[in-house]
Amino acid sequence: MSKDTKDDNKLFSQAMQGVNRMQSDKVNLKTKPSPIKKRAQITEPNIADTLSDDFIPPCDDHLEFMRSGVQKAYLKQIRNGKIPIEDDIDLHGYRRDDARQALLSFLDHAQLQQYKLVKIVHGKGYNSDGNKPVLKAMVNKWLQNIPQVLAFVSATPRDGGIGAVYVLLKKRIENNT
């Protein structure tokens, strides 16, 4: 045996002092350990209102946005309705300022709940002046300016089609006590 091997064995023996040998070598892999929940110390909303309403940008019928780092295959699963929606909000009938506040509160709540995918119904804008979608355009603009939004894409027809978007949220980082 080499000197290095003897030193390694000695270190291992020291590290294992006080450790008891298991009765069985078999481990039951079917049961999952229960998750440990930590209380988060929330001092202020995570999603701040830094959104501008200065102008209504033009937008296409189909909305899609993705930050770098999001896998295209995962966005495709979202686009096809394969990922479950954990919560939703309907902004129909809201005025612009009220819609912005409701959206920010909803996204902050969703992140607090550690939701991954939510749905926002903004409508198609057919009842707006000139049939131009005001709320849809603003939601498109707002979501792109919220750092906690990783991606969004127009929903499938069963979930509102071009009148709604699926929104992928970044995992909230908590201050644990």
Q: Would you list the DSSP string of 30-47?
A: SSPPPPPP--B---S-SS
Whether 37 is in a domain gets the answer: yes
pLDDT in tens, 16-49: 777 776 665 555 544 444 444 444 444 445 555 4
Whether 27 is in a domain gets the answer: yes
pLDDT, residue 38, reads 41
Q: Are 58 and 136 in contact (CB under 8 A)?
A: no
Distance (Å) of CA 127 to CA 80, 89, 124, 133: 27, 19, 8, 8
pLDDT in tens, 51-106: 555 556 667 789 999 999 999 999 999 999 999 999 999 998 888 889 999 999 99
In eight-state DSSP terms, residue 93 is T
Number of other residues whose CB lies within 10 A of the CB of residue 136: 25
Query: What CATH number does the domain containing 137 carry?
Result: 3.30.1370.110
Is the pLDDT score of 162 beyond 90?
yes
pLDDT, residue 55, reads 55
Whether 31 is in a domain gets the answer: yes
Q: List residues bridging with 167 in a β-sheet.
A: 118, 152
SS3 category, 154: strand
Extract the tokens encoding 105: 């509160």
Strands (DSSP E) along 57-142, which ranges? 64-66, 87-90, 117-121
Whether 52 is in a domain gets the answer: no
Residue-wise over 90-119: b if at least 16 C-beta within 10 A, else e? ebeebeeeebbeebbebbbbbbeeebbbbb
pLDDT, residue 90, reads 96
Whether 54 is in a domain gets the answer: no
Extract the tokens encoding 9: 């064995």
Whether 87 is in a domain gets the answer: yes
The parent domain of residue 68 ranges over 1-46+60-177
In eight-state DSSP terms, residue 176 is B
Whether 133 is in a domain gets the answer: yes
In eight-state DSSP terms, residue 157 is G
Whether 64 is in a domain gets the answer: yes
